[in-house]
Structure 1
Amino acid sequence: MEWTADVAAGDWIRERVDDPWRGSMHDVVPRGFEAYARIFHPVERDRPVGRPWPPLPYAGHRREWEAFHAAQPEIDVERVTWAEAAAAFGTTMHALAQWHHLVERFQQTPGEDGPRDAAGWRYGQPAPGQLAPDLVEVVASILAERTTTPDEGFVAVWEGWGGLVGGMGFGPSRVLFTLSATDDSPQSAVEAQHAEFLERSAQDQLNNAFRTPSWRPGILSDDISRGPRFSLPARDFVLFRGGVSELADPGWVEHVPWRDEELAAAGFGPSAESPALVWPADRAWVFVSEVDFDSTIVGGSRELVRALCADPRIEALPIREGADLGWDADDVNR
């Protein structure tokens, strides 16, 4: 897979999305395919082993939370589907479901903690704009079987992910800041160090008005960062030439040009943002992970949509052309 300046390769998509936006999925997903599937980004839930979570709100139960953390209980963590979450909360899973109607409305203290079900599981949120790497692989393997050009096509990555592209600014493009509590450094000291760091950062922002901006490199090379973008209404992308078969490789994160080598070198493991758009040279289908969507949309043939929705490794449902995936689209769980 390699960067390409041939951004006109995506003109056919621009011609089939809504400009200006109209509030349907076609703000970002091209019209005109035979069928569409919505792939729901999974969520994580966790709960302590052998004991309940301390009560909320935090401010009213500080001692309970301090004792809980001091005990360092074992925490179970697992990935679940939207359907499993809906079953836990007694709501209805359907193609136009919205997470906040499905689960978040049961949150005990908004802004403090995820919603908890009757079994004590605490729920996170589906990642917007990011299909998990292993699920990208699964979807890509299904897509690769339903194009005549699995090794030829295009992959677009949203330029707005932090640190992806270089640009003019102040100081380093990003800082990997980590802290750990040890016997010699209690949690209170760690928190004090963190507060000091944030205070310095805020002061630096105030001083930026008197400084001269300089070029800050990103994950991608300066040539790519300064190069042309594939543009859709309200979104710009870095475009790469490559086949979906490359994303079907279990190790795709380690090989794509936008992999974060600095983060991996710091001990965080292989890392790369999820592709925003993927399409083959024969345009048999399109894969869209819009940065503000908590699900990925695939447009293609009816047979492709059936295959996606039938695969037990992912959670997908068919949706109609023109579907509304907006904040208030879930009229079943209101």
Structure 2
Amino acid sequence: MLRPVLDPTSAEWISPRLGGAFGAAGRTVPRGYAAYARLCHPAERDRGGWASWSEAAAETGRRAHGAMQWHALVGSPDPVNLTGSLWRGSPPGRGTLPSHTLTALLALLGDHTSASDAWFGLWEGYGWADEAALSRKHLDAPRLRHPGRDYLLFRGPLTSATELGWRPRPHWFEAQSPNLFWPEDRAWCVATEVDFDSTLVAGEEALVDALVKAPGLEAWRIESDTSLAADGDRINQLP
């Protein structure tokens, strides 16, 4: 079960390890790890079901690669509104992983840490946070501060990552995957930036190899300096 953390001091190791050029993966997930992966959030098809970015690329005549950008993949010059998109379904969600993807990721991450507890960061800007079952003491506690983002902190078993979210109605739970989380032993760190349609994972080589090979997940090996900026896709640029 998730427990609120009121003192962010023990979580302040990440911020000094963030940096690099605009758009670099290392501005979102800490540098200093042996390997990095980008987990692309799946897109929804117009007729139902999920599609990987590789499947979308095959259907739009583009090329899938680690630094691809969704708008370039679907033939749109507009990274925000996706004007002229060749994709008929919905684009990948930003800032959160679908529940089935998060569950699969957690199962894999659990095999690459010896810690029983993990830390979780939730971006403070979600409007529903004040209405969720968060205590006033927690909401008023000091934040974990990163460049451009501040987080509410929690601790608990790794599987409790699925507990974050809110209830718009009594029987309707809207899940929100953690924007930042890592195990007590810091064997890896995962970041889902609020504005990104992909999640970044930093860890050991074996973890990244497992992610890239995992069925049901679409992960690409990247570097901490790989640009994920809107203009970072140099392969699928429009003429």
Q: TM-score, normalised by structure 1?
A: 0.66
Residue 111 of structure 2 aligns with which residue? Answer: 145
Residue 199 of structure 1 aligns with which residue? Answer: none
In structure 1, what residue type is equivalent to 2:122?
A: V
Residue 101 of structure 2 aligns with which residue? Answer: 135
Change over 3 Å in CA distance of 1:77–1:113 after alignment to 2: farther
Matches of 1:270 and 1:218, distance apart in 2 = 11
Matches of 2:81 and 2:122, distance apart in 1 = 30
SS of alignment partner, residue 12 of structure 2: helix
Contact between 2:22 and 2:227, CA under 8 Å: does it hold in 1? no
| Residue 298 in structure 1 maps to residue 201 in structure 2 | yes
Matches of 1:142 and 1:163, distance apart in 2 = 29
Matches of 1:307 and 1:25, distance apart in 2 = 20
Q: How far did 1:221 drift?
A: 2.2
Change over 3 Å in CA distance of 1:104–1:157 after alignment to 2: farther
Matches of 2:84 and 2:103, distance apart in 1 = 29
Report the identity percentage: 35
Contact between 1:114 and 1:124, CA under 8 Å: does it hold in 2? no
| Residue 158 in structure 1 maps to residue 123 in structure 2 | yes
Matches of 2:23 and 2:53, distance apart in 1 = 23
Change over 3 Å in CA distance of 1:245–1:77 after alignment to 2: closer
Matches of 1:124 and 1:114, distance apart in 2 = 13
Instruction: Identify which of 177, 181, 184 aligns with 1:281.
Output: 184
Residue 14 of structure 1 aligns with which residue? Answer: 15
Change over 3 Å in CA distance of 1:123–1:259 after alignment to 2: closer
Instruction: Identify which of 289, 303, 310 aligns with 2:213.
Output: 310
Residue 229 of structure 2 aligns with which residue? Answer: 326
Matched ranges for 1:226-305 at <5 A: 226-247=140-161, 252=162, 256=163, 258-261=164-167, 263-265=168-170, 267=171, 269-305=172-208
Matched ranges for 1:131-210 at <5 A: 131-149=97-115, 151-165=116-130
In structure 1, what residue type is equivalent to 2:37?
A: A
Contact between 2:38 and 2:219, CA under 8 Å: does it hold in 1? yes
Larger Rg: 1
Matches of 1:320 and 1:34, distance apart in 2 = 10
In structure 1, what residue type is equivalent to 2:119?
A: F
Q: CA RMSD in A?
A: 2.1
| Residue 87 in structure 1 maps to residue 58 in structure 2 | yes
Q: TM-score, normalised by structure 2?
A: 0.91
Q: How far did 1:270 drift?
A: 2.1
Q: How far did 1:296 drift?
A: 0.3
Contact between 2:132 and 2:166, CA under 8 Å: does it hold in 1? no
Contact between 1:152 and 1:243, CA under 8 Å: does it hold in 2? yes
Query: Which structure features the higher share of helix residues?
Result: 1
Matches of 1:234 and 1:329, distance apart in 2 = 21
Change over 3 Å in CA distance of 1:100–1:295 after alignment to 2: same
Query: Which structure features the higher share of strand residues?
Result: 2
Q: How far did 1:113 drift?
A: 7.6
Q: How far did 1:219 drift?
A: 4.6
Matches of 1:240 and 1:2, distance apart in 2 = 5
Matches of 2:169 and 2:75, distance apart in 1 = 33
CA-to-aligned-CA distance 1:233-252 (integer Å, 9 cap, x gap): 110111001131334xxxx3
Residue 102 of structure 1 aligns with which residue? Answer: 73
Aligned pair count reads 235
Residue 77 of structure 1 aligns with which residue? Answer: 48
In structure 1, what residue type is equivalent to 2:123?
A: W
Matches of 1:23 and 1:259, distance apart in 2 = 27
